[in-house]
Chain A
Amino acid sequence: MSDAVHARVHLFPVRHHSPRTSLVLRRWLDRLRPALVLVEGPEDATPLIPSLTDPESQPPIAILGYRTDGTPGSALWPFAAYSPEYVALRWAAEAGVEARFIDISTGQSLARDVAALRIDASEPAAEPEESIWDTVAARAGFRSFEEFWEASFEAPDYDEPGFRGALLEYAELVRHEGHELSFHRARDAYMARRIREAAAVVAPETIVAVLGAAHAAALAADDVDDALLPALDATVPTTTTLIPYSFPRLAEQTGYGAGNRAPHFYQRAWDAGGSFRRAALEVLVDFSDHLRLRGFMSSLADTIEAYRLACMLADIRGKGEPGLDEVREATVATMCRGDATHVDTFLWPSVIGRNIGKVASRIGRNSLQEEFWREVEQRRLPRTDAPEEFVLKLGDPVQVATSVFLHRLRVADIPYASYRGASAGARATVDESAGGIAALTRVREAWQAQWTPSTDASLVERIVFGETLEQVCRRVLEKKLGEARTTSDAAGVLLESVVASVAETLSTALAACDRLASADDDLPSLATACRALSGLIAYGSSRESAALGTAAIPPLCVKTFDRAVLRVRAACDGNDEAVAPVKVAMRVLNEIALAQPIVDRAAWIEAAAGVAHDYSVHPGCAGIAAGLLYLAQAMNEEEVALLVGQRLSDALEPARAADFLAGFLEVNALVLVKSRPIVAALDAFLNAIDRDRFRDALPVLRRAFAHLGATERRYLVENIVALRKLGGSAGTVAQVIAAKDREKLESLSDDIAKAMDDLDDLL
Chain B
Amino acid sequence: MNDIRLPAEQKYADEIRALADSDRGPRPPGWAMTPRAVETYVTGSDKAVGGVTITPKYIGDRSLVQVAIATLASDRALMLAGEPGTAKSWLSEHLTAAISGTSSLVVQGTAGTTEEHIKYGWNYAMLLAEGPSQRALVPSPILRAMRDGKIARFEEITRTSSEVQDALISILSEKQVAIPELNEMVSAQRGFTVIATANTRDRGVNEMSAALKRRFNFVTIPVVDDLEQEIRIVTKREAELRSDYQVGAAAPEELARMLVTLFQELRGGVTKDGKTKVKPPASVLSTAEAISVLFQSGILAQSFGSGNVTATDVARALAGAVAKEGAEDLKAVREYCETVAKGRPGPWKELYGAAKAALRS
> Measuring CB to CB, which residues of chain A are less than 8 angstroms from any residue of chain B?
143, 297, 299, 301-302, 305, 308-309, 312-313, 315-317, 325, 329-330, 332-334, 336-340, 760
In angstroms, Cα B76 to Cα A339, docked, is 17
Q: How long is the Cα–Cα vector from A329 to B214 in the complex, in angstroms?
A: 17
How far is A91 from B314 in the complex, measured between Cα atoms in Å?
Answer: 71
Given contacts A305-B74, A308-B74, contact A337 B205 (CB under 8 A): yes
* Nearest chain B CB to A677 CB, angstrom units: 49
Name the contact of B218 in the complex, choosing from A301, A312, A315, A337 (C-beta under 8 A): A337
**A338, B205: Cβ atoms closer than 8 Å:** yes
Select one of A299, A313, A336 contacting B66, CB under 8 A: A313
Q: Is the CB of A309 within 8 A of B67?
A: yes
Report chain A residues within 8 Å CB of B356: 760
Q: Please give, as numbers and ranges, the residues of chain B lying within 8 Å of A332 by CB-CB distance.
A: 218, 220
Ordered nearest first, which 3 A-B pairs have the shortest CB separation? A338-B218, A312-B70, A338-B220
Within B294-342, which residues are at the interface with A (CB < 8 Å)? none
User: How distant is the Cα of A299 from the Cα of B213 in the complex, in angstroms?
Assistant: 12
Nearest residue (CB) in B for A301 is B214
**Complex formed: what's the CA distance from A334 to B216 in Å?**
8
B39 partner, pick from A316, A325, A334, A339, beta carbons under 8 A: A316
Please, which residue of chain A has its CB at the minimum distance from the CB of B221?
A: A338
A-B contact pairs, 27 of them (CB 8 A): A143-B63, A297-B210, A299-B214, A305-B76, A309-B67, A309-B71, A309-B74, A312-B35, A312-B70, A312-B74, A313-B66, A313-B67, A313-B70, A315-B35, A315-B70, A325-B63, A329-B66, A330-B67, A332-B220, A333-B217, A333-B218, A333-B219, A334-B76, A334-B218, A338-B218, A338-B220, A760-B356
User: In this assembly, does B145 line the interface, its C-beta being within 8 Å of a C-beta of chain A?
Assistant: no
Decide if B73 is an interface residue (CB 8 Å cutoff).
yes
Using Cβ atoms and an 8 Å threshold, which residues of chain B touch A337?
205, 213, 216, 218
Q: Which residues of B contact A (CB under 8 A)?
A: 35-36, 39, 63, 66-67, 69-71, 73-74, 76, 79, 81, 205, 210, 213-214, 216-220, 353, 356
Complex-state Cα separation, A761 to B73, whole angstroms: 63
Structural contact, A316 and B35, CB atoms closer than 8 A: yes
Residues A316 and B76 in contact in the complex (CB < 8 Å), given A297-B210, A338-B205, A338-B219: no
Does B213 lie within 8 Å of A333, measured CB to CB?
no
Minimal Cβ-Cβ distance residue in B for A336: B218
Interface class of chain A by DSSP: helix
Q: A316–B66 contact, CB under 8 A? A: yes
Whether B220 lies near A309 (C-beta < 8 A) is no
Taking a contact as CB atoms closer than 8 A, the residue among B66, B79, B210, B353 that contacts A338 in the complex is B79
A520 to B353, CA, bound (A): 67
Q: Are B214 and A316 in contact (CB under 8 A)?
A: no
Cβ of B219: which chain A residues have Cβ within 8 Å of it? 333, 338
With a 10 A CB-CB cut-off, give which of A143, A305, A340 has the most chain B CB atoms: A305
Q: A316-B36, A338-B79 are in contact. Are A333 and B63 (CB under 8 A)?
A: no
Most B-side CB within 10 Å, residue of A301, A308, A333, A760: A333
CB proximity of B212 to chain A, nearest CB, Å: 11
A329 contact set on B, CB distance < 8 A: 63, 66-67
Bound CA–CA A309/B72 (angstroms)? 10
Chain A: which residue is nearest B38 at the CB level? A316
Give the residue among B36, B70, B74, B217 with the most A Cβ atoms within 10 A: B70
Q: Which residue of B lies closest to A333 (CB)?
A: B217
Give min CB distance, B41 to chain A, whole Å. Answer: 13
Complex CA gap A325/B79 in Å reads 20
Decide if A312 touches B73 in the complex (CB within 8 Å): yes
For residue B229, give the distance in angstroms from its CB to the closest CB of chain A: 14
Q: Which chain B residues lie closer than 8 Å to A333 at the CB level?
A: 67, 71, 217-219
A316 is contacted by which of B69, B218, B353 (Cβ under 8 Å)? B69
| Given known A-B contacts A297-B210, A302-B214, A309-B217, A338 and B70 have beta carbons under 8 A apart | no
Name which residue of chain A comes closest to B78, CB basis. A333
Min C-beta distance of A18 to chain B, whole Å = 23
* Complex CA–CA separation, A143 to B214 (angstroms): 30
Further contacts, 20 of them, CB under 8 A, given A301-B214, A316-B69: A143-B63, A305-B74, A305-B76, A309-B67, A309-B74, A313-B63, A313-B66, A313-B67, A316-B39, A316-B66, A325-B63, A330-B67, A332-B220, A334-B76, A334-B218, A337-B205, A337-B213, A337-B218, A338-B79, A760-B356
Question: Closest residue of chain A to B208, judged by CB?
Answer: A337
B337 to chain A, nearest CB (A): 11
**What residue of chain B has the Cβ atom nearest to residue A299's Cβ?**
B214
* Chain B residue at smallest Cβ distance from A325: B63
Given the complex of chains A and B, what is the CA–CA distance between A334 and B73 in angstroms? Answer: 14
Q: Chain B's nearest CB lies how many Å from the CB of A575?
A: 36
**What is the minimal beta-carbon distance from A259 to any residue of chain B, in angstroms?**
20
Please, which residues of chain A bring their CB within 8 A of the CB of B217? 305, 309, 333-334
Instruction: Give the residues in chain B near A315, CB-CB below 8 Å.
Output: 35, 70
B268 CB to closest chain A CB (Å) equals 19
Report how far A537 CA is from B213 CA in the complex, Å: 68
Chain B minimum-CB-distance residue to A318: B36
Per the bound structure, the CA–CA distance linking A329 and B218 in Å amounts to 10
Instruction: Please report the C-alpha to C-alpha distance between residue A143 and residue B218 in the assembled complex, in whole angstroms.
Output: 22
- Given the complex of chains A and B, what is the CA–CA distance between A334 and B74 in angstroms? 12
Enumerate chain B residues within 8 angstroms of A336, measured Cβ to Cβ: 218
Distance between B320 CB and nearest chain A CB, rounded to angstroms? 24
A321 shortest CB reach to chain B, Å? 15
Residues of chain A within 8 A of B79, CB atoms compared: 338
- Chain B residue with Cβ nearest A297: B210
Shortest beta-carbon distance, B169 to chain A, in Å?
Answer: 14
Highest count of chain B CB atoms <10 Å: which of A316, A330, A334, A336:
A316
Question: Which residue, A309, A317, A337, has most C-beta atoms of chain B within 10 A?
Answer: A337
CB of A459, distance to nearest CB on chain B (Å): 42
A305 closest partner in B (C-beta): B76
Closest-CB distance, B156 to chain A (whole angstroms): 16
Closest beta carbon of chain B to A313's beta carbon, Å: 5
Cα–Cα distance between A325 and B61 once the two chains are bound (Å): 13
Q: Which chain A residue lies CB-closest to B28?
A: A312
B68 to A, closest residue via Cβ: A333
Question: Shortest distance in angstroms between B198's beta carbon and chain A's nearest beta carbon?
Answer: 9
Q: For the complex, what is the distance from the CA of A301 to the CA of B214, rounded to whole Å?
A: 9
* Closest CB in chain B relative to A141 CB, distance in Å: 9
Q: Which among B67, B69, B218, B220 has the highest number of chain A CB atoms within 10 Å?
A: B67
Question: Which residue on B lies nearest to A309, using beta carbons?
Answer: B70
What's the nearest-Cβ distance from chain B to residue A155, in Å?
Answer: 16
CA distance A334 to B214 in the complex (A): 8
Across-interface contacts of A338 in B (CB, < 8 A): 79, 81, 205, 218-220
A277, chain B: closest CB distance, angstroms: 15
- Assembly CA distance A148 to B106 (angstroms): 39
Q: Which residues of A contact B81 (CB under 8 A)?
A: 338
Q: Chain A residues with Cβ under 8 A from B74's Cβ? A: 305, 308-309, 312
Closest beta carbon of chain A to B126's beta carbon, Å: 42
- The CA of A309 and the CA of B218, in the complex, are separated in Å by 12
Q: Which residue of A lies closest to B200 (CB)?
A: A338
Q: Which residues of A are found within 8 Å of B76, using beta-carbon distances? A: 305, 334
B67 near A339: Cβ-Cβ < 8 Å: no
Report the minimum CB–CB distance from B193 to chain A (whole Å).
13
Q: Which residues of A contact B66 (CB under 8 A)?
A: 313, 316-317, 329
B112: min CB distance to chain A, Å = 27
Q: Which residues from A are CB-within-8-Å of B71?
A: 309, 333
Question: Nearest CB to that of A147 among chain B residues?
Answer: B63
Q: How far is the CB of A619 from chain B (nearest CB, A)?
A: 41
Given the complex of chains A and B, what is the CA–CA distance between A737 and B205 in angstroms?
55
Cα–Cα distance between A315 and B36 once the two chains are bound (Å): 9
Residue of A nearest to B65 (CB): A316
* Shortest distance between the CB of B353 and any CB in chain A (Å): 8
Contact in complex: B70, A316 (CB < 8 Å): yes
Would you give the shortest CB distance from A90 to chain B, in whole angstroms? 37
- Nearest B-chain residue to A756, judged by Cβ: B338
Cα-based distance from A333 to B64 in the complex (angstroms): 10
Chain A residues with CB below 8 A from B63, complex form: 143, 313, 325, 329
Residues on B with beta carbons closer than 8 Å to the beta carbon of A317: 66
Most buried by A among B74, B81, B213: B74
